[in-house]
């Protein structure tokens, strides 16, 4: 192997080690990418990629506006009203409670994109409900983290925004393109986890399980929110309004060109009127959320871009593409299990997805695939890798809420995730 190849291998190993040790993700990716570019005698490639990524208009507008709206929804507790409204009809369903809780979590994931945030908001209610109904704590926790795929129907999903930008299409076009696949995959996850519940003997009618092995308490220091006893329907609708707007307009009024940012702004105005909150405070929160979105999400995309630039400078991307282009089936396997394994090892779905999207997805045509398909497969696999990792913050949090071990949770969620990846490959 060449010197550049050895440099790339060392950098990738160092990157994985750094992410596993929970060092700052952006620092790890930036440093690894810069080192690879320097040792490949092409340092300017890293800086040029940094400039390109930090001024990406399509990503910045969509992601920052979505994060601003999400911050306002959280501040006004509209998301908790939605969760409370969804969970009220779930008592006395018996074994059907498991798929119903997964359905409720899926709907809630449209409004709450963060896995840890979703677990904090919905976990205490649904997990306690399932445990009291006779489900083992581990399967109750797995039901929550295995139900997040409907988030791909959200125009605020960073994965959708990134893939749409690479494919040079509108975000809603990407969502409409994958919507059928998401529905089938979600149904698959519900059926698969229900089957695993029976296989593991995780349901006991009129009884409860005693389970030891609590999660890392460090993730449980955050205060868990209390759901309102009497949810307000108008407030509950607020987190879903931008999603509904964009779907309705794209399907029935395509002549109206509405951007993600416009839908989020309309949702923001709706929140002001419905909650009767101080407009000045909400505007401040909206822009603070936009800044947080740029610093955290866009910052991660920038860092992943620099890392990908380093891999290109070392010739790794070219070699990987040459290897995959012989067969679309090999490309599907490489584009799915690569991000999945990285997501499992690091506990970060975004880091894995963004790195692969930046380096491999733009070359989808070389593998006989569409960018929309390979991008979706890559992001989905990284997401499923995150919920199969005992290192993921959301997994640790939900395991702690359930009073069980993260390992017990991922014994169940990982089986669902691997099955979903294989199912997705056959769908492509």
Residue 284: the pLDDT is 95
At residue 213, the 3 state secondary structure works out as coil
- Number of independent structural domains in the chain: 1
Report, as an integer, the average pLDDT of 369-381.
91
Q: Which residue has the higher pLDDT, 141 or 353?
A: 141
* 408 or 117, which is more confident: 408
pLDDT at 82: 85
Choose the most confident range, by mean pLDDT, from 82-96, 159-173, 203-217, 235-249.
Answer: 159-173
- CB-based contacts of 6, cutoff 8 Å, min separation 6: none
User: Which structural domain, as residue segments, surrounds residue 20?
Assistant: 3-427
Residue 325 has pLDDT above 70, yes or no: no
Contact of 343 with 382, CB cutoff 8 Å: yes
Point out the least confidently predicted range of 148-157, 173-182, 314-323: 314-323
Confidence of residue 80 (pLDDT cuts 50, 70, 90): confident
Return the higher-pLDDT residue of 86 and 425: 425
- Looking at residue 258, what DSSP letter applies? -
pLDDT of residue 216: 45
CA nearest neighbour of 58 among 162, 177, 155 = 162
Average pLDDT over residues 390-396: 80
- The pLDDT mean for the chain works out to 83
Task: Please state, in angstroms and rounded to a whole number, the distance separating the CA atoms of residues 262 and 68.
Answer: 12
The Cα 382–Cα 148 span in angstroms is 13
pLDDT at 184: 95
Q: Output the pLDDT for position 31.
A: 92
The packing angle between helices 97-111 and 137-145, to 10°, is: 40
pLDDT tens for residues 125-158? 788 788 877 889 999 999 999 999 999 998 888 8
- What's the CA gap between 25 and 17, in Å, rounded? 11
Beta-bridged to residue 203, according to DSSP, are 135
Please state the separation of Cα 146 from the chain's center in Å: 11
C-alpha dihedral (332, 337, 338, 342), degrees to nearest 10: 150
Choice between 254 and 412, residue whose per-residue pLDDT is larger: 412
Residue 70's contacts (CB-CB under 8 Å, 6 or more residues apart) are: 112, 113, 156, 289
Q: Which of 19-28, 112-121, 186-195, 270-279 has the lowest mean pLDDT?
A: 112-121
Buried b (16+ CB within 10 A) or exposed e, 249-275: bbeeeeeeebbbbbbbbebbebbbebb
Number of Cβ within 10 Å of residue 323's Cβ equals 12
**Cα dihedral angle (192, 197, 199, 202), rounded to 10 degrees?**
170
Helix pair 371-386, 349-359: axis angle to 10 deg: 160
d(CA 101, CA 113): 17
Model confidence pLDDT, tens digit, residues 201-254? 888 876 666 654 444 444 444 455 677 878 899 998 988 888 888 888 877 877
For the whole model, what pTM was predicted?
0.77
How far apart are the C-alpha atoms of 400 and 410, rounded to whole Å?
A: 13
Q: What pLDDT score does 219 carry?
A: 45
Across residues 164-181, what is the average pLDDT?
91
User: Would you place residue 305 in the very low, low, confident or very high pLDDT band (cuts 50, 70, 90)?
Assistant: confident
């Amino acid at each position: 192997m060449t010197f550049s190849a050895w440099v790339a291998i060392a950098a990738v190993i160092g990157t994985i080690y750094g992410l596993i040790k929970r060092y700052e993700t952006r620092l790890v990716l930036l440093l690894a990418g810069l080192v690879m570019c320097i040792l490949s005698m092409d340092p300017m490639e890293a800086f040029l990629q940094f400039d390109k990524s930090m001024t990406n208009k399509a990503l910045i507008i969509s992601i920052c506006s979505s994060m601003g709206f999400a911050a306002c929804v959280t501040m006004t507790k509209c998301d908790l009203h939605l969760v409370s409204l969804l969970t009220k009809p779930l008592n006395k369903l018996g074994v059907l409670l498991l798929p119903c809780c997964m359905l409720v979590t899926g709907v809630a994931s449209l409004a709450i994109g963060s896995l840890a945030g979703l677990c904090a908001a919905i976990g205490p209610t649904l997990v306690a409900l399932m445990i009291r109904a006779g489900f083992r704590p581990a399967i109750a926790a797995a039901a929550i983290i295995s139900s997040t795929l409907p988030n791909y129907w959200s125009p605020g999903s960073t994965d959708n925004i990134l893939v749409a930008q690479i494919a040079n299409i509108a975000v809603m076009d990407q969502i409409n393109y994958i919507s059928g696949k998401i529905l089938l995959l979600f149904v698959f996850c519900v059926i698969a986890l229900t089957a695993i519940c029976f296989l593991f003997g995780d349901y006991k009618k009129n009884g409860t399980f005693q389970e030891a092995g609590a999660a890392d308490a460090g993730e449980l220091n955050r205060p868990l929110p209390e759901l309102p006893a009497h949810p307000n329907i108008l407030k509950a609708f607020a987190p879903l309004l931008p999603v509904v707007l964009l779907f309705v307009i794209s399907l029935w009024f395509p002549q109206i060109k509405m951007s993600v940012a416009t839908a989020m702004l309309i949702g923001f105005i709706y929140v002001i009127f419905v909650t009767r909150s101080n407009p000045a405070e909400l505007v401040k929160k909206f822009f603070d959320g936009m800044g947080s979105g740029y610093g955290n999400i866009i910052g991660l995309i920038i860092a992943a871009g620099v890392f990908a630039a380093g891999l290109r400078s070392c010739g790794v991307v070219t070699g990987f593409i040459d290897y995959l282009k012989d067969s679309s089936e090999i490309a599907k396997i490489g584009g799915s299990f690569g991000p999945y394994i990285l997501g499992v090892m690091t506990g970060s779905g975004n880091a894995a997805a963004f790195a692969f999207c930046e380096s491999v997805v733009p070359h989808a045509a070389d593998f006989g695939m569409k960018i929309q398909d390979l991008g979706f497969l890559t992001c989905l696999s990284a997401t499923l890798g995150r919920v199969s990792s005992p290192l993921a913050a959301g997994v640790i949090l939900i395991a702690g809420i359930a009073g069980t071990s993260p390992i017990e949770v991922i014994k169940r969620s990982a089986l669902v995730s691997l099955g979903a990846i294989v199912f997705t490959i056959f769908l492509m």
